[in-house]
Chains A and B, each alone.
Chain A
Amino acid sequence: MSEKTVSIDIKKDLFGANEEAASKNAEVFKKHGIVAIDIMGSVGTGKTQLIEALCERLSEKYPILMIAGDLATRIDADRVGSHGVDTVQINTGTACHLDARMIRVAIDDTDISKYKVVFIENVGNLICPAGYSLGVGKKVVVVSVTEGPYMIRKHPLTIKRSDMVVINKIDLAEVLDFDVDALERDIREVDANLPVFKVSSKIGTGLDKLIEYLGL
């Protein structure tokens, strides 16, 4: 039997499965009139604290579900849960980001029709989460003044592929001698039109504007 080498055409989009799952999630959110927000950022930028601050201000007004993504533990879900909102913890094991199928499972595990707002806290990582759509209305990147001045320069593509940026912990800028305006200029270098919010989740600065922008 003689063997021959041939070319076999495939032409398959390998991000396709995730994109498809993301569209299905988007349909579910739309059907129930849910505002869904994906919150991304490095470890320690204050993503959880931001969600806690938002929940404190919004939990009386809307039924909220928080979906937390972490390699291990349910520390974040428990923290946010203490503000009277429902939570689902996704432990990704070793995976560096949430993908649309994980969100699909979380949606299927809950009665999603009960909620009007879904906050998804992505795995602490400023690179990989940006490449995977979850089907949300807005992808928010959280940076903070404690990560040093080069966060934007080092992660321009993540910023470019997001819908808005929150600069968190601005209450610490002065003591850390951190130039928030310079960071904002870097964001403008990446994208002239990206909405930027300067916030302190801890003392509440800037949160009203952010909430207004999110339409909540």
Chain B
Amino acid sequence: MHEFSAALSIVETAVQAAKENNVSKVKAVNVEVGEFTFLVPEQLEFNFEIASRNSVVEGAKLQITKKKGALKCDDCGFEGESQVDTDIPSQIAVFSPMKCPKCKGSSTEIIGGKEFIITNILAEVTPA
């Protein structure tokens, strides 16, 4: 479970930005989390609440945008977003996001969806 250290990295970055911009209160923090990271949005939110305590970020809303994964297929040449095939039995559905949406093969390489980015914060600033 590494969401706490991930949440801390969000808070530290947001606190730094707040300091540099004369922020009195951070209202929201926007992050992007890729489908092929090992980060669970719900756990990230919970840990963010704890990690932000007693900082200028405390009480801010963590807004997570999930980014779709992207694949490149060595068999058919497909390059693009991964897809979950809803027709696949649940027993093997776990494999489907990593399979080629076009030819259904598994000669795929992950080319997107590994990101974890803090994009911006919404904050109240005191005019100088």
Using a CB–CB cutoff of 8 Å, the interface residues on chain A facing chain B are 1-15, 17, 95-97, 127-128, 130-131, 153-154, 156-158, 160-161, 188-193
B17 and A131 contacting across the interface, CB-CB below 8 Å: no
- Choose one: A2, A158, A188, A191; the contact of B108 (CB below 8 Å): A191
Interface mask (B100-128 → A, CB under 8 Å = 1, otherwise 0): 00000111101000111111111111110
Dominant secondary structure of chain B at its interface with chain A: mixed
Some 14 contacts from A to B, beta carbons below 8 A apart, are A5-B123, A5-B124, A7-B121, A8-B17, A8-B21, A10-B13, A10-B119, A10-B121, A11-B118, A15-B37, A160-B36, A188-B106, A190-B98, A190-B106
Cβ of B85 < 8 Å from any Cβ of A?
no
- Which residues on the B side are within 8 Å of A161 (C-beta)? 36, 110
B1-51 contacts to A (CB < 8 Å): 1-2, 5-6, 9-10, 13-14, 17-18, 21, 23-25, 27, 31, 36-39
B52-69 contacts to A (CB < 8 Å): none
- Which residues on the A side are within 8 Å of B39 (C-beta)? 131
Dominant secondary structure of chain A at its interface with chain B: mixed
Task: Give the Cβ gap from A33 to chain B, nearest Cβ, in Å.
Answer: 27
Please report the total number of B residues contacting A with Cβ < 8 Å. Answer: 47
With A4-B124, A189-B95: A14-B13 Cβ-Cβ less than 8 Å: yes
B2 and A192 contacting across the interface, CB-CB below 8 Å: no
- Which residues on the A side are within 8 Å of B118 (C-beta)? 10-12, 14
A8 and B38 contacting across the interface, CB-CB below 8 Å: no
B120 and A193 contacting across the interface, CB-CB below 8 Å: no
- Choose one: B1, B115, B120; the contact of A7 (CB below 8 Å): B120
The answer for the CA separation of A6 and B105 in the assembled complex, in Å, is 47
A97 and B2 contacting across the interface, CB-CB below 8 Å: yes
With A6-B122, A190-B98: A14-B116 Cβ-Cβ less than 8 Å: yes
B105 and A192 contacting across the interface, CB-CB below 8 Å: yes
Task: Give the Cβ gap from B25 to chain A, nearest Cβ, in Å.
Answer: 8
A8 and B92 contacting across the interface, CB-CB below 8 Å: no
Cβ of B94 < 8 Å from any Cβ of A?
yes
B119 and A9 contacting across the interface, CB-CB below 8 Å: yes
Task: Give the Cβ gap from A80 to chain B, nearest Cβ, in Å.
Answer: 25
A13 and B21 contacting across the interface, CB-CB below 8 Å: no
B1 and A96 contacting across the interface, CB-CB below 8 Å: yes
- Choose one: B24, B123, B126; the contact of A8 (CB below 8 Å): B123
The answer for the CA separation of A121 and B44 in the assembled complex, in Å, is 27
A191 and B106 contacting across the interface, CB-CB below 8 Å: yes
A160 and B110 contacting across the interface, CB-CB below 8 Å: yes
Task: Give the Cβ gap from B5 to chain A, nearest Cβ, in Å.
Answer: 7
B95 and A3 contacting across the interface, CB-CB below 8 Å: no
- Which residues on the A side are within 8 Å of B98 (C-beta)? 156-157, 160, 190-191
- Choose one: B9, B31, B121, B125; the contact of A3 (CB below 8 Å): B125
The answer for the CA separation of A11 and B14 in the assembled complex, in Å, is 11
- Which residues on the A side are within 8 Å of B105 (C-beta)? 192
Task: Give the Cβ gap from B56 to chain A, nearest Cβ, in Å.
Answer: 12
B107 and A153 contacting across the interface, CB-CB below 8 Å: no
Task: Give the Cβ gap from A21 to chain B, nearest Cβ, in Å.
Answer: 13
- Which residues on the B side are within 8 Å of A160 (C-beta)? 36, 98, 110
Task: Give the Cβ gap from A93 to chain B, nearest Cβ, in Å.
Answer: 11
